[in-house]
Structures are given as C-alpha cells and as structure tokens.
Amino acid sequence: MKKWVAAALCASLASVGGWALAKNTDNIALIVNGKKVETDVAPQIINGRVMVPVRAVSEAMGAEVNWDSKQRAVIVSKPEGPTPIARLPHEQTTLYALKEKDGLYTPLLAEHQGQFKLFDWKSVTNPSYAPTIESKDLTGDGKNELIFILTTGYGTGALTQDVHVLQPDTWEERKVPDPVETLKQHMTSKVTKEQVEITVGGKTTVIPANKIPAEPSTWFSSLGIGGIVTYETKGDALLARVPAQLSPAHVVGQFHITYQFAKDQFQVKTIEFVQD
C-alpha cells in the first residue's frame, strides 16, 4: 500500500505536475492536477484558512466520496493500488492497470527501476491476452528500449494489438507507423469468383479459387485487412503481422511489415506477402 501511494504520487507529479491549489483571491480557483475544477460550492477563506469542497477535490483525484448517516461521517475511499498485468523482472519493469471498464484496463502505469510514468494506453482484461514487455536495442544506439505489446481487442476473426517502444531513461516513445495504413498505401488486391490477386512490394501473387478451401460464396467482396494485427520482435527488428482475410474464418496469407529505425524514427523497411 505504501509503495503504491508513493508510486502514484511520483507518477502524478512527473506526468502532469499533480497538485491541488486554492488561490487566495476574491474569486478562488480550485485546480487539481493542473486542471481547473468547477464546484457547486465555491472555495472560501474562513478564519485565515482556505476551505474547499471535499467531494470536488476527492473525485478529481480519482476517489469516491459517500455520506454515512449512521456515523455522520464523510467517507473518502480510493482503490488500494494498481493491478500488475505484466512484468520484466531482470529489467525491474512492471506494467500496472489503474482502472477497469468494459473489459479494458486504462490508463496504465509503467514502472522501470523505481521510476514511474502514467500512459493513456489500454489493454484487454482477459488474462489470455496479457501484455508482454521486452528489452531490446531496436534503435541501434547501444541501449535497450522497452517494448510493450498490448492487446486492445479480440473476438471471432479479430485480434488487434498496439506496440509502444520507449526510451527507459526519458520515457520518450518512438512511434511506429500504423501497419494497416501502410498496407492501404502500398498494397492492392482484387477478389473475383475465380481468384484472388494481391500486389505489394513490387510482387504480385495470384491464388486460384481451387487453392482456397473456403467456398467463393463466403468470400468478402474485397480483401480484408485490419481485423487482426499483431507485433513481435525478431532479432533487433520489429515485425507487424497482418493476415489477409477472405472471410471471417479464413485467411489466404499474411503481410509481414518489418520496421527499422532511421533519422530518429521507425520507418517501414520491407513489406512482404506470405501465402498460406
């Protein structure tokens, strides 16, 4: 509990300059975590002390406020602490979930060697799709980055992930180009009852209908991409896999997008279609 309180405080101070302040002016402003909070009862100065509404401050800090008529007491409560959802022990790195809603954890709190940072990331709560953390040098600077791979959705014929690559000493994130948007720009396809034609990376693949187990009557009118997006590291490279879906239950292959780091950002190095 004590560690969580300290961690949450550090994260708040580091990420948003967290503090609550009542200004000693005629019109007293209530500011919590850098944001002005409007209240139905204005803060007041009484006998030299600034009085602020406890509900407004508490709820702005993520706590619940209730009135107990039997005890005649105001009860302020806050969750005991975050839920660890991924660990990388040898790097002293842990990812925590702060809130759970509609099958998703968000926001997420990252800890690395005693330092904390709050992110507006999300991850599904299903433990079968728990986040993973890796430590590898993907940028070629001789220092390992932290790679967080999060599942953001799943279902029949669907599985989507996000990847976040961070410099652990500064928490700076190295953005990775969206693989689906990349394919929309560099891939063309044509679906007919006789065949499926896919062109990417200067190479065209033609798959005849008799080589596809699914009946043409079940095919999409155009090749589906984006329902499934996964990430992995391969050596010192980052790889995105995007299946080419011909129906919710059938794919004809996968697009492999490899990223390399150059000019201070990740760029697409190669795009390849691998037929099933």
Q: How confident is the model at residue 231 (pLDDT cuts 50, 70, 90)?
A: very high
Cα 215 to Cα 255: distance, rounded to the nearest angstrom? 22
Average confidence (pLDDT) over 7-11: 39
Q: What is the pLDDT of residue 80?
A: 63
Q: What is the pLDDT of residue 33?
A: 66
pLDDT digits (tens, 9 = 90+) for 94-145: 999 988 999 999 999 999 999 999 999 999 999 999 999 999 999 999 999 9
Average confidence (pLDDT) over 40-58: 79
> Within a 10 A sphere around the Cβ of 115, how many other Cβ atoms?
16
Q: What is the pLDDT of residue 79?
A: 59
Lowest mean pLDDT of 21-25, 53-57, 245-249, name the range.
21-25
Cα 166 to Cα 271: distance, rounded to the nearest angstrom? 24
Check whether 9 has a pLDDT greater than 70.
Answer: no
Q: Are the beta carbons of 247 and 218 closer than 8 angstroms?
A: yes
Cα 264 to Cα 207: distance, rounded to the nearest angstrom? 39
Q: Are the beta carbons of 214 and 246 closer than 8 angstroms?
A: yes
- Of residues 12 and 226, the one with the higher pLDDT is 226
Q: Are the beta carbons of 125 and 224 closer than 8 angstroms?
A: no
* Average model confidence (pLDDT) across the chain: 86
Average confidence (pLDDT) over 166-175: 94
Do β-strands 228-234 and 158-167 pair in parallel, antiparallel, or remain unpaired?
parallel
Q: How is residue 130 written in tokens?
A: 């728990």
Check whether 213 has a pLDDT greater than 60.
Answer: yes
Indicate the pTM of the whole model: 0.71
Average confidence (pLDDT) over 75-89: 83
pLDDT digits (tens, 9 = 90+) for 137-164: 999 999 999 999 999 999 988 999 999 9
Q: What is the pLDDT of residue 17?
A: 35
